[in-house]
Amino acid sequence: MGKRSKQFIEKLQKNRTLIGSLILIITLLWGYAWVLMKQALDYMGPFTFSSFRFGVGAITLLVVAWIMKVGLPPKHYWKHIFVIGILQTAIVFLLVMYGLRFVDAGKSSVLLYSMPMWSSLLAAKYLNERLTLAKSSGLIIGMLGLLTILGWDIWMGQSIEIIIGEVLIIIAAISWAIANIYYRKKVQDLPQLQVSAFQMFFGTIAIMVVTLIMEPNEQLLLNAQSIYYILFTGIFASALCFTVWFLILSLIDMVSATISTLLVPMFGLIFSSFLLGEKITLGVFAGSVMIIIGIIIAQINQPMRGKPLEE
């Protein structure tokens, strides 16, 4: 990193207002991206869209890594980065995009961002982190929130496709949590931009393979609208936001960073309500509030440690 870059980061670290503004901007963009992900399904299959989105995102991140002279990861890390790419990019977004065929965008964002609960639970077992009373209470409240959303849909007579879609998105959240744990155990010492760029590259290859197998004859309509969805989610919501996010993670503590991601599902619900006309039912609202409260309680007294892999 050059002298100017270090000076810029030092100045940024002293400006908490600017850091807060950056967090607000990227969480707004991520929340808005859920609307575009849902709308993109009118033009192409879920896997095809993911191939385009993360293909664009991976190329952009690799270019950023090259400009910043991050370099290639050491050879013995490649297999670990590949695993993270499968867990973090391929599995998460293949399941999310398929689930979005049946589940509202706002509700999907809430379910996926239950990830911190699963991370806390897995960290207790695999990272020997103590499951404190606060964490246990937060996990229980969060789990009840998930059951509230799913249970509400079951009792309201939702179709089996919606229930399956919701379960797939929860599995995606668990896969994201597993990726976080694997990251801490195997590649935490590498620059986060380096890990993200190359894991996205490997994940994109896996998504493309699945796309060729599952959607060889799926409709593909490329026009100004669908290209906008691809470029916005690939360049802005993926590459640019992730790059800024890594910078933020180097400036603030992990707990504050994790809690700030709760803005994403809230913005997702708001944008989906206004732009897609999705109704926020009592079950979704109550479950969302419980999940958010649970995550905050679980994280509030958490000691500082290495940075998680966020996406």
DSSP characters for 126-187? HS-----HHHHHHHHHHHHHHHHHHHHHHHTT--HHHHHHHHHHHHHHHHHHHHHHHHHHHT
- For residues 34-52, average pLDDT: 97
Q: Please list, in sequence order, all residues whose beta carbon lies within 8 angstroms of the beta carbon of residue 113, skipping any fewer than 6 positions away.
A: 173, 261, 262, 264, 265, 291
The answer to whether 203 and 61 have CB atoms below 8 angstroms apart is: no
Burial of 291 (0-12, 13-18, 19+ CB in 10 A): buried
d(CA 37, CA 119): 25
- For residues 111-128, average pLDDT: 86
The answer to whether 260 and 23 have CB atoms below 8 angstroms apart is: yes
How large a percentage of the chain has pLDDT more than 90? 48
Average pLDDT, the chain: 86
- pLDDT confidence bin for 4, thresholds 50/70/90: low
The answer to whether 101 and 58 have CB atoms below 8 angstroms apart is: no
SS3 223: coil
The answer to whether 97 and 49 have CB atoms below 8 angstroms apart is: yes
Tens-place pLDDT, residues 246-294: 777 667 665 666 677 778 888 999 999 999 999 888 888 888 899 888 8
Place of tokens 């994790």: 258
- Assess whether pLDDT exceeds 90 at residue 49: yes
Helix, strand, coil share of the chain (percent; to 5): 75, 0, 20
d(CA 207, CA 265): 24
User: How is the chain split into domains, by residue range?
Assistant: 18-300
Q: Please list, in sequence order, all residues whose beta carbon lies within 8 angstroms of the beta carbon of residue 62, skipping any fewer than 6 positions away.
A: 197, 198, 201
pTM, entire model: 0.87
Tens-place pLDDT, residues 68-95: 888 999 999 999 999 999 999 999 999 9
pLDDT for 253 equals 62
Comparing C-alpha atoms, which of 213, 217, 224, 178 is closest to residue 86? 178
- Assess whether pLDDT exceeds 70 at residue 190: yes
Find which of 47-51, 132-136, 214-218 is predicted with most confidence, using mean pLDDT. 47-51
Cα 11 off chain centre by: 28
- pLDDT confidence bin for 8, thresholds 50/70/90: low
pLDDT for 214 equals 95
- For residues 148-170, average pLDDT: 84
